Amino acid sequence: MMFNTGSSLLDAVVLSVVAKDEEGTYGYKITQEVRTVLEVSETALYPVLRRLQTNGLLETYDKAFSGRNRRYYKITPQGLQELGRYRSEWVAYCTKINAILMHSKEEG
């Protein structure tokens, strides 16, 4: 992708992916879904998950899967509020960018 991904956009996408499933989802699945829209490595994503957890936006729990524990991430009520703010800001941002970027003036 030509455009840089800032940490706020990555946070918003991760929160949105986790919010899709009321029971939460696990790290690898989050990574795969985020990678459908942003170029991000798995190693870069786990610090984001930890930071969102530290900030009270995500919570974790472990669940047995194929004889091992799998860590699940679930969005908190505070995380849902933050996601709402991100979504509102995204709409405003896209509107402003589109007003400039998508405006074309016929020449000549």
Report d(CA 91, CA 77) in Å as an integer: 21
- Sign of CA pseudo-dihedral 80, 55, 34, 13: positive
Report d(CA 61, CA 82) in Å as an integer: 21
Mean pLDDT over each residue of the chain, to the nearest integer:
91
Tell me which H or E stretch contains 100: helix 77-101
Report d(CA 22, CA 8) in Å as an integer: 22
pLDDT given at position 49 = 96
Report d(CA 34, CA 17) in Å as an integer: 7
Per residue in 46-96, pLDDT (tens digit) is 999 999 999 999 999 999 889 899 999 999 999 999 999 999 999 999 999
Structure tokens at 73: 């991430």
Q: What is the pTM of this model?
A: 0.87
